[in-house]
Structure 1
Amino acid sequence: MSNARHLGYRDELLADGQVHRRYEDGRSEWRRRGTDRQIHWHDSLGRSGTDEPLGRDLVKRRYADGTAEYGRDLGYGRTVWGGGLVTLNRSSFGGRLGVVVGALGVAGVAAITAAQLPPLALSEVEEEELRQQARQQTSGGGGDGGGSSNGGGDISADGDGSGEHHGDPGSPGSTEDFGDWGDSDDGWDGDDFG
Protein backbone atom coordinates (compact mmCIF):
# COMPACT_ATOMS: atom_id res chain seq x y z
CA MET A 1 0.00 0.00 0.00
CA SER A 2 2.34 2.67 -1.23
CA ASN A 3 -0.12 5.59 -1.20
CA ALA A 4 -0.89 5.48 2.54
CA ARG A 5 -0.86 8.80 4.37
CA HIS A 6 0.56 9.09 7.85
CA LEU A 7 -0.33 11.48 10.65
CA GLY A 8 1.47 11.82 13.97
CA TYR A 9 0.02 12.91 17.27
CA ARG A 10 1.11 13.50 20.86
CA ASP A 11 -0.89 12.81 24.01
CA GLU A 12 -0.79 14.86 27.20
CA LEU A 13 -2.40 13.72 30.47
CA LEU A 14 -4.43 16.57 31.97
CA ALA A 15 -5.00 17.23 35.69
CA ASP A 16 -8.66 16.19 35.40
CA GLY A 17 -7.68 12.72 34.11
CA GLN A 18 -8.51 13.38 30.46
CA VAL A 19 -5.97 13.08 27.68
CA HIS A 20 -5.45 15.94 25.24
CA ARG A 21 -4.36 14.58 21.88
CA ARG A 22 -2.73 17.00 19.43
CA TYR A 23 -2.46 15.94 15.80
CA GLU A 24 0.23 17.22 13.52
CA ASP A 25 -2.45 18.63 11.21
CA GLY A 26 -3.54 21.05 13.96
CA ARG A 27 -6.58 19.18 15.26
CA SER A 28 -7.09 18.43 18.94
CA GLU A 29 -9.02 15.71 20.68
CA TRP A 30 -9.97 15.26 24.32
CA ARG A 31 -10.30 11.67 25.47
CA ARG A 32 -11.57 10.12 28.66
CA ARG A 33 -11.66 6.54 29.71
CA GLY A 34 -15.12 5.11 30.40
CA THR A 35 -16.10 2.27 32.66
CA ASP A 36 -17.46 0.43 29.64
CA ARG A 37 -14.06 -0.46 28.06
CA GLN A 38 -14.46 2.46 25.70
CA ILE A 39 -12.71 5.76 25.22
CA HIS A 40 -15.13 8.69 24.94
CA TRP A 41 -13.83 11.60 22.89
CA HIS A 42 -14.70 14.97 21.37
CA ASP A 43 -12.55 17.08 19.08
CA SER A 44 -11.84 20.64 18.01
CA LEU A 45 -14.01 20.14 14.90
CA GLY A 46 -17.14 19.58 16.99
CA ARG A 47 -17.25 15.81 16.51
CA SER A 48 -17.59 13.22 19.26
CA GLY A 49 -17.86 9.49 19.72
CA THR A 50 -16.26 6.41 21.24
CA ASP A 51 -13.34 4.11 20.51
CA GLU A 52 -13.72 0.47 21.49
CA PRO A 53 -11.19 -2.39 21.41
CA LEU A 54 -12.28 -5.38 19.32
CA GLY A 55 -10.23 -8.55 19.58
CA ARG A 56 -6.49 -8.36 19.77
CA ASP A 57 -5.65 -5.59 17.32
CA LEU A 58 -8.82 -3.92 16.03
CA VAL A 59 -10.50 -0.76 17.24
CA LYS A 60 -13.96 0.47 16.32
CA ARG A 61 -14.44 4.21 16.15
CA ARG A 62 -18.08 5.14 16.41
CA TYR A 63 -19.15 8.71 15.68
CA ALA A 64 -22.08 10.45 17.39
CA ASP A 65 -23.92 10.48 14.04
CA GLY A 66 -23.96 6.65 14.05
CA THR A 67 -21.25 6.05 11.44
CA ALA A 68 -18.30 3.85 12.30
CA GLU A 69 -14.88 2.87 11.01
CA TYR A 70 -12.24 0.36 12.01
CA GLY A 71 -8.52 0.60 12.60
CA ARG A 72 -5.84 -2.04 13.08
CA ASP A 73 -2.96 -1.65 15.53
CA LEU A 74 0.31 -2.41 13.77
CA GLY A 75 2.45 -2.07 16.90
CA TYR A 76 5.00 0.60 17.82
CA GLY A 77 2.23 3.19 18.16
CA ARG A 78 1.02 2.81 14.57
CA THR A 79 -2.60 2.27 13.53
CA VAL A 80 -3.87 1.86 9.99
CA TRP A 81 -7.40 2.93 9.10
CA GLY A 82 -9.62 1.70 6.26
CA GLY A 83 -9.06 4.78 4.12
CA GLY A 84 -5.29 4.24 4.10
CA LEU A 85 -4.42 6.65 6.91
CA VAL A 86 -1.72 5.53 9.34
CA THR A 87 -1.62 7.35 12.67
CA LEU A 88 1.56 7.38 14.72
CA ASN A 89 1.74 8.08 18.45
CA ARG A 90 4.86 10.18 18.90
CA SER A 91 4.35 10.78 22.64
CA SER A 92 5.25 7.29 23.82
CA PHE A 93 8.81 7.02 22.64
CA GLY A 94 11.86 9.11 23.27
CA GLY A 95 15.58 8.93 22.75
CA ARG A 96 17.06 6.29 20.48
CA LEU A 97 13.85 4.24 20.43
CA GLY A 98 11.91 7.31 19.29
CA VAL A 99 14.21 7.66 16.28
CA VAL A 100 13.72 3.98 15.40
CA VAL A 101 9.94 4.20 15.81
CA GLY A 102 9.85 7.41 13.76
CA ALA A 103 11.68 5.63 10.97
CA LEU A 104 9.30 2.68 11.23
CA GLY A 105 6.35 5.04 11.04
CA VAL A 106 7.47 6.40 7.71
CA ALA A 107 9.12 3.30 6.28
CA GLY A 108 6.36 1.10 7.67
CA VAL A 109 3.78 2.88 5.55
CA ALA A 110 5.17 1.28 2.42
CA ALA A 111 5.32 -2.09 4.15
CA ILE A 112 1.58 -2.22 4.92
CA THR A 113 -0.04 -5.17 3.22
CA ALA A 114 -3.66 -5.80 2.33
CA ALA A 115 -3.79 -8.35 5.17
CA GLN A 116 -2.97 -5.58 7.67
CA LEU A 117 -5.79 -3.30 6.55
CA PRO A 118 -8.78 -3.24 8.89
CA PRO A 119 -12.14 -4.52 7.69
CA LEU A 120 -14.44 -1.97 6.10
CA ALA A 121 -17.43 -3.49 7.91
CA LEU A 122 -18.20 -6.20 10.46
CA SER A 123 -21.52 -7.79 11.38
CA GLU A 124 -22.86 -7.50 14.94
CA VAL A 125 -22.05 -11.21 15.43
CA GLU A 126 -18.44 -10.71 14.29
CA GLU A 127 -18.05 -7.67 16.55
CA GLU A 128 -19.42 -9.56 19.55
CA GLU A 129 -16.99 -12.44 18.95
CA LEU A 130 -14.13 -9.94 18.91
CA ARG A 131 -15.42 -8.26 22.09
CA GLN A 132 -15.39 -11.66 23.79
CA GLN A 133 -11.77 -12.18 22.68
CA ALA A 134 -10.81 -8.78 24.08
CA ARG A 135 -12.48 -9.59 27.42
CA GLN A 136 -10.66 -12.93 27.60
CA GLN A 137 -7.32 -11.25 26.93
CA THR A 138 -7.75 -8.59 29.61
CA SER A 139 -9.12 -11.06 32.17
CA GLY A 140 -6.30 -13.53 31.58
CA GLY A 141 -8.68 -16.01 30.03
CA GLY A 142 -7.63 -18.49 27.39
CA GLY A 143 -8.59 -18.68 23.78
CA ASP A 144 -6.53 -18.05 20.72
CA GLY A 145 -7.22 -14.33 20.80
CA GLY A 146 -7.19 -14.14 17.01
CA GLY A 147 -5.64 -11.22 15.22
CA SER A 148 -1.97 -10.46 15.25
CA SER A 149 0.50 -10.77 18.06
CA ASN A 150 1.39 -7.11 18.34
CA GLY A 151 -1.44 -6.52 20.80
CA GLY A 152 -3.17 -3.26 21.31
CA GLY A 153 -5.69 -1.34 19.37
CA ASP A 154 -4.97 2.11 18.25
CA ILE A 155 -7.61 4.59 18.63
CA SER A 156 -6.99 7.28 16.17
CA ALA A 157 -9.42 9.59 14.62
CA ASP A 158 -9.71 11.44 11.47
CA GLY A 159 -11.70 14.47 11.06
CA ASP A 160 -13.36 15.38 7.83
CA GLY A 161 -16.50 13.28 8.24
CA SER A 162 -16.34 12.40 4.55
CA GLY A 163 -17.21 8.75 4.92
CA GLU A 164 -13.65 7.76 4.06
CA HIS A 165 -11.77 7.39 7.23
CA HIS A 166 -13.59 10.19 9.01
CA GLY A 167 -10.92 12.73 9.47
CA ASP A 168 -7.44 11.80 10.32
CA PRO A 169 -7.39 9.26 13.06
CA GLY A 170 -4.86 10.90 15.15
CA SER A 171 -7.83 11.61 17.32
CA PRO A 172 -9.94 9.09 19.08
CA GLY A 173 -8.20 6.08 17.84
CA SER A 174 -4.71 6.86 18.55
CA THR A 175 -1.85 4.57 18.44
CA GLU A 176 -1.53 2.64 21.58
CA ASP A 177 -3.38 -0.30 22.90
CA PHE A 178 -6.12 -0.35 25.46
CA GLY A 179 -3.74 -1.96 27.87
CA ASP A 180 -4.93 -3.55 31.06
CA TRP A 181 -8.50 -2.39 31.48
CA GLY A 182 -8.56 -4.24 34.76
CA ASP A 183 -6.23 -1.65 36.26
CA SER A 184 -7.51 1.02 38.60
CA ASP A 185 -10.01 3.54 37.32
CA ASP A 186 -8.18 6.39 38.99
CA GLY A 187 -6.22 7.46 35.95
CA TRP A 188 -4.53 6.61 32.69
CA ASP A 189 -1.46 4.55 32.15
CA GLY A 190 0.80 4.44 29.10
CA ASP A 191 -1.41 1.87 27.38
CA ASP A 192 -4.57 3.93 27.64
CA PHE A 193 -3.53 6.70 25.28
CA GLY A 194 -4.08 4.71 22.10
Structure 2
Amino acid sequence: MRPRREITYQDEVLADGTVHRAYADGRREWREHGADGVVRWRDDGGGSGTDEPLGRHLVKRVHADGRTLYGREAGYGRTLWSNEVLTVNRSSFAGRTGVVLAALGGGVLAGALVAPPVALTEGQEEALREEARAQAGGGGSADTGGTAPPEEYDDWGGDVGFDDGDFG
Protein backbone atom coordinates (compact mmCIF):
# COMPACT_ATOMS: atom_id res chain seq x y z
CA MET A 1 0.00 0.00 0.00
CA ARG A 2 1.33 3.37 -0.92
CA PRO A 3 0.22 6.18 1.37
CA ARG A 4 -2.29 8.55 -0.12
CA ARG A 5 -1.25 11.29 2.30
CA GLU A 6 1.62 11.89 4.72
CA ILE A 7 1.30 13.93 7.91
CA THR A 8 4.15 14.69 10.31
CA TYR A 9 3.60 15.40 13.98
CA GLN A 10 5.58 16.40 17.02
CA ASP A 11 4.95 15.32 20.61
CA GLU A 12 5.54 17.38 23.73
CA VAL A 13 5.36 15.76 27.16
CA LEU A 14 3.46 18.05 29.52
CA ALA A 15 4.13 18.55 33.24
CA ASP A 16 1.25 16.23 34.20
CA GLY A 17 2.71 13.38 32.11
CA THR A 18 0.20 13.68 29.28
CA VAL A 19 1.30 14.35 25.71
CA HIS A 20 0.36 17.23 23.43
CA ARG A 21 0.62 16.16 19.79
CA ALA A 22 0.81 18.85 17.11
CA TYR A 23 0.21 17.71 13.52
CA ALA A 24 1.73 19.58 10.57
CA ASP A 25 -1.77 20.13 9.16
CA GLY A 26 -2.68 22.23 12.22
CA ARG A 27 -4.62 19.65 14.24
CA ARG A 28 -3.88 19.24 17.95
CA GLU A 29 -4.35 16.16 20.10
CA TRP A 30 -3.91 15.48 23.82
CA ARG A 31 -2.99 11.94 24.84
CA GLU A 32 -3.00 10.11 28.16
CA HIS A 33 -1.42 6.70 28.66
CA GLY A 34 -3.72 4.49 30.77
CA ALA A 35 -2.64 1.82 33.24
CA ASP A 36 -4.24 -0.73 30.91
CA GLY A 37 -1.77 0.18 28.13
CA VAL A 38 -4.43 1.97 26.09
CA VAL A 39 -3.88 5.59 25.10
CA ARG A 40 -6.90 7.84 25.47
CA TRP A 41 -6.94 10.90 23.24
CA ARG A 42 -9.00 13.96 22.46
CA ASP A 43 -8.45 16.55 19.76
CA ASP A 44 -9.17 20.21 19.11
CA GLY A 45 -11.98 19.27 16.69
CA GLY A 46 -14.09 17.66 19.40
CA GLY A 47 -13.00 14.11 18.55
CA SER A 48 -11.89 11.56 21.09
CA GLY A 49 -11.14 7.87 21.37
CA THR A 50 -8.52 5.28 22.18
CA ASP A 51 -5.39 3.78 20.65
CA GLU A 52 -4.68 0.19 21.68
CA PRO A 53 -1.63 -1.92 20.82
CA LEU A 54 -2.48 -5.18 19.07
CA GLY A 55 0.47 -7.55 18.79
CA ARG A 56 3.92 -6.21 18.09
CA HIS A 57 3.38 -3.60 15.36
CA LEU A 58 -0.37 -3.05 15.06
CA VAL A 59 -2.49 -0.42 16.74
CA LYS A 60 -6.27 -0.13 16.80
CA ARG A 61 -7.73 3.40 16.88
CA VAL A 62 -11.36 3.60 17.94
CA HIS A 63 -13.12 6.95 17.67
CA ALA A 64 -15.84 7.79 20.21
CA ASP A 65 -18.40 7.62 17.37
CA GLY A 66 -17.44 3.97 16.70
CA ARG A 67 -15.21 4.37 13.64
CA THR A 68 -12.17 2.08 13.73
CA LEU A 69 -8.81 2.37 12.00
CA TYR A 70 -5.83 0.05 12.17
CA GLY A 71 -2.24 1.20 11.91
CA ARG A 72 0.97 -0.68 11.29
CA GLU A 73 4.09 0.79 12.87
CA ALA A 74 6.87 0.76 10.30
CA GLY A 75 9.81 1.92 12.42
CA TYR A 76 11.55 5.29 12.49
CA GLY A 77 8.43 6.92 13.93
CA ARG A 78 6.25 5.99 10.96
CA THR A 79 2.76 4.47 11.10
CA LEU A 80 0.73 3.53 8.02
CA TRP A 81 -3.02 3.62 8.69
CA SER A 82 -5.82 1.65 7.03
CA ASN A 83 -7.17 4.92 5.57
CA GLU A 84 -3.88 5.20 3.59
CA VAL A 85 -2.44 7.99 5.74
CA LEU A 86 1.19 7.77 6.82
CA THR A 87 1.97 9.59 10.07
CA VAL A 88 5.59 10.40 10.86
CA ASN A 89 6.82 11.38 14.32
CA ARG A 90 9.44 14.09 14.05
CA SER A 91 9.87 14.47 17.84
CA SER A 92 12.87 12.19 18.25
CA PHE A 93 16.01 11.21 16.40
CA ALA A 94 14.26 8.15 14.98
CA GLY A 95 11.29 10.31 14.02
CA ARG A 96 13.49 12.83 12.23
CA THR A 97 15.13 9.91 10.45
CA GLY A 98 11.63 8.75 9.48
CA VAL A 99 10.90 12.14 7.95
CA VAL A 100 14.04 11.85 5.82
CA LEU A 101 13.23 8.26 4.87
CA ALA A 102 9.62 9.14 4.02
CA ALA A 103 10.92 11.91 1.75
CA LEU A 104 12.67 9.21 -0.27
CA GLY A 105 9.19 8.04 -1.22
CA GLY A 106 9.11 5.18 -3.68
CA GLY A 107 12.76 4.28 -3.20
CA VAL A 108 13.96 2.31 -0.23
CA LEU A 109 10.74 2.72 1.75
CA ALA A 110 8.25 1.35 -0.73
CA GLY A 111 8.96 -2.20 0.36
CA ALA A 112 9.19 -1.28 4.04
CA LEU A 113 5.59 -0.07 4.34
CA VAL A 114 3.28 -3.02 4.92
CA ALA A 115 -0.42 -2.26 4.78
CA PRO A 116 -2.35 -2.69 8.02
CA PRO A 117 -5.55 -4.72 8.00
CA VAL A 118 -8.72 -2.87 7.04
CA ALA A 119 -10.72 -4.92 9.55
CA LEU A 120 -10.13 -7.65 12.12
CA THR A 121 -12.57 -9.93 13.90
CA GLU A 122 -12.82 -9.80 17.68
CA GLY A 123 -11.12 -13.22 17.76
CA GLN A 124 -8.20 -11.96 15.67
CA GLU A 125 -7.86 -8.89 17.89
CA GLU A 126 -7.87 -11.02 21.06
CA ALA A 127 -5.18 -13.31 19.61
CA LEU A 128 -3.03 -10.24 18.96
CA ARG A 129 -3.64 -8.94 22.51
CA GLU A 130 -2.54 -12.32 23.89
CA GLU A 131 0.60 -12.09 21.75
CA ALA A 132 1.35 -8.63 23.17
CA ARG A 133 0.85 -9.89 26.73
CA ALA A 134 3.13 -12.87 26.07
CA GLN A 135 5.83 -10.57 24.65
CA ALA A 136 5.54 -8.45 27.79
CA GLY A 137 6.18 -11.57 29.84
CA GLY A 138 2.88 -11.34 31.69
CA GLY A 139 0.78 -13.90 29.89
CA GLY A 140 -2.29 -12.53 31.72
CA SER A 141 -5.76 -12.71 30.29
CA ALA A 142 -8.19 -9.93 29.53
CA ASP A 143 -10.35 -11.15 32.43
CA THR A 144 -7.61 -10.39 34.94
CA GLY A 145 -6.60 -7.12 33.37
CA GLY A 146 -3.59 -8.61 31.57
CA THR A 147 -0.34 -6.69 31.67
CA ALA A 148 1.02 -3.46 30.31
CA PRO A 149 1.98 -3.54 26.63
CA PRO A 150 5.58 -4.16 25.62
CA GLU A 151 7.78 -1.15 26.29
CA GLU A 152 8.33 -0.55 22.58
CA TYR A 153 4.87 1.08 22.71
CA ASP A 154 5.89 3.60 25.40
CA ASP A 155 7.87 6.53 24.07
CA TRP A 156 7.02 8.86 26.94
CA GLY A 157 9.65 7.46 29.27
CA GLY A 158 12.68 8.09 27.11
CA ASP A 159 14.67 6.11 24.60
CA VAL A 160 12.86 2.80 24.21
CA GLY A 161 11.90 0.31 21.62
CA PHE A 162 10.71 -0.05 18.13
CA ASP A 163 8.87 3.00 17.01
CA ASP A 164 9.55 6.13 19.03
CA GLY A 165 5.90 6.84 18.30
CA ASP A 166 3.06 6.62 20.71
CA PHE A 167 0.68 4.58 18.54
CA GLY A 168 0.89 6.50 15.34
| Structure 1 and Structure 2 fold alike (TM over 0.5) | yes
Whole-Å separation in 2 of the counterparts to 1:122 and 1:114: 22
Aligned pairs for 1:1-194 within 5 A: 1-2=1-2, 4-93=4-93, 98=96, 100-108=97-105, 111-113=109-111, 116-139=114-137, 177-179=152-154, 188-190=156-158, 191=160, 193-194=165-166
Per-residue deviation, 1:17: 1.0
Aligned-CA RMSD value: 2.8
Cα deviation per residue 1:95-122 (whole Å; 9 max; x = unaligned)? Answer: xx93x43221222566345971000000
Gaps of 5+ in 1: 142-151, 154-175, 181-187
- AA matched with 1:189: G
Whole-Å separation in 1 of the counterparts to 2:73 and 2:113: 12
In the superposition, the TM-score normalised over structure 1's length comes to 0.69
Following superposition, which runs of at least 4 residues in structure 1 exceed 3 angstroms of deviation?
Answer: 108-115, 190-193
Task: Give the % identical residues.
Answer: 51
Q: How many residues align?
A: 152
Q: Go from structure 1 to structure 2 and tell me whether the alpha carbon gap of 1:117 and 1:3 turns closer, same or farther (over 3 Å shift).
A: closer
Q: Is the 1:9–1:23 Cα contact (8 Å) retained in structure 2?
A: yes
Q: Which structure shows the bigger proportion of residues in strand conformation?
A: 2
In the superposition, the TM-score normalised over structure 2's length comes to 0.79
- The DSSP-based 3-state class of the residue aligned with 1:41 is strand
Q: Is the 1:6–1:106 Cα contact (8 Å) retained in structure 2?
A: no
Q: Is the 2:5–2:86 Cα contact (8 Å) retained in structure 1?
A: yes
Q: Go from structure 1 to structure 2 and tell me whether the alpha carbon gap of 1:3 and 1:92 turns closer, same or farther (over 3 Å shift).
A: closer
Q: Go from structure 1 to structure 2 and tell me whether the alpha carbon gap of 1:108 and 1:77 turns closer, same or farther (over 3 Å shift).
A: farther
Whole-Å separation in 1 of the counterparts to 2:3 and 2:69: 19
Q: Is the 2:9–2:22 Cα contact (8 Å) retained in structure 1?
A: yes
Larger RCO (CA under 8 A, 6+ residues apart): 1
Q: Is the 2:78–2:98 Cα contact (8 Å) retained in structure 1?
A: no
Q: Is the 2:2–2:113 Cα contact (8 Å) retained in structure 1?
A: no
Gaps of 5+ in 2: 140-148
